[in-house]
Amino acid sequence: MKHDIGGLSLDLDNLLFRLNLNNPGDDIKLVDLCIEKIKEYENPLVCLSGGYDSQFMCLLLKQAGIEFTAVTYETMWGLNVINSPDAYMAQNFAKKHDIPLQLIQLDFKTFLESEQYLEYAIKYHTSSPQIAYHLYFLDQIDYTDRSIVMGGDIPRFALDEDTQEIISMIHSDGELFRTTIIPYKMYAEENNVKMCKDLLFYSPELFYKSLENFANLVKKHNVIGTMDDTTTGNYIKELYYNNITEEDCETNLMSNTGFENIKLHFMSLSGDYDDFNNKYRAPLMSLLDNFYKKTYSITFNYTGSISQKISGFDQMALLIDDLQDYYENNSIKLIKHYKLEF
């Protein structure tokens, strides 16, 4: 099975993860490449979480002059709206930018207790209850004769604090590609819907220009993030997207998908801060591990099992070398905004 989105591909039959970059030239702008690609998605329906990724997609469509509507959801646990910060952010953003918005309510408690999360995880090969829930959300909306547009990840560089070296963090292993991209690609194919997710990886040219944009924002603002996975990249994302579109994203103080609150709720009942993950994430990881062992003879993480090739490595290396030189000769602030969740 091969999954290919243009700038990234994962060939599980041959255990090969490939990154494809190509510099289209200095006269080509990233925003123009983005608009050219997004125009392929007719009558778009944007899944607006309120975060920077989906805000960016809305602002890009506005700048391209493409009419669209958005949809968001409230995650309910009884009468509690557990993702209220994100839901309100999405509504306020849509109101400010005159975006037609549909709001739906989803019963997350029933989704878990009825084991629907298992059905979606098995069908679309995800180990994440959150992604399973998001795919369930897609099934609750009417996208007949529509394209679905979502935010995604950004190609980025980071500082290795131990070595003081600039490194690439561009979906650096096939496991991450499988976790964040493949389930949505499978959903689109299964349901015959055209879906845009992770736009910045959709061609070698987009991929390169997106990396170049990250290097430019480091130099423009003299900031960079780290490899520390206890920190959030929200501030960097805001700067990144504002370096592309004419309108700036709205500052989002802290993303709250609702899962943070549910983890705290389960912890308060049991005294174990891993209680939610043990009950709902661990079983999915076990199921997926068994699937990959049986189908491809590799483990869930398949560390060391997947080869990696980079087409355009020399072009990426030039960006890294230039950024390394800039870092060593300028005063750059290290951004470490910590995640306040369990």
Q: Is the pLDDT of residue 303 over 60?
A: no
**Mean pLDDT score of the chain, rounded to an integer?**
91
Pairing of strands 147-149, 44-47: parallel
Please give the helix or strand (H or E) that residue 104 lies within, else none: strand 101-107
3-state secondary structure of 157: strand
pLDDT for the residue numbered 342: 37
Q: Residue 303: phi, psi to the nearest 5?
A: -65, 125
pLDDT for the residue numbered 170: 67
Kindly give the residue spans of alpha helices, DSSP state H, lying in 42-115. 52-64, 84-96, 108-113
Q: Is the pLDDT of residue 229 over 90?
A: no
pLDDT for the residue numbered 297: 84
The per-residue pLDDT for range 246-260, each reduced to its tens digit, is: 999 999 876 677 888
3-state secondary structure of 77: strand
The full length of the chain comes to 342
Q: What average pLDDT score do residues 263-279 get?
A: 92
Q: Rounded to an integer, what distance in angstroms lies between the CA atom of residue 198 and that of residue 190?
A: 19
pLDDT for the residue numbered 82: 93
The per-residue pLDDT for range 154-205, each reduced to its tens digit, is: 999 999 999 999 988 765 556 667 788 999 999 999 999 999 999 999 999 9
Q: Rounded to an integer, what distance in angstroms lies between the CA atom of residue 121 and that of residue 109?
A: 16
Q: What average pLDDT score do residues 48-67 get?
A: 97
Q: What average pLDDT score do residues 288-304 get?
A: 77
Q: Rounded to an integer, what distance in angstroms lies between the CA atom of residue 74 and that of residue 261?
A: 13
Does 306 or 149 have the greater pLDDT score? 149
The per-residue pLDDT for range 230-248, each reduced to its tens digit, is: 666 788 999 999 999 999 9
**Residues of 136-155 as b/e, b for ≥16 C-beta within 10 angstroms?**
bbbeeeebeebbbbbbbbbb
The per-residue pLDDT for range 71-117, each reduced to its tens digit, is: 999 999 999 999 999 999 999 999 999 999 999 999 999 999 999 99
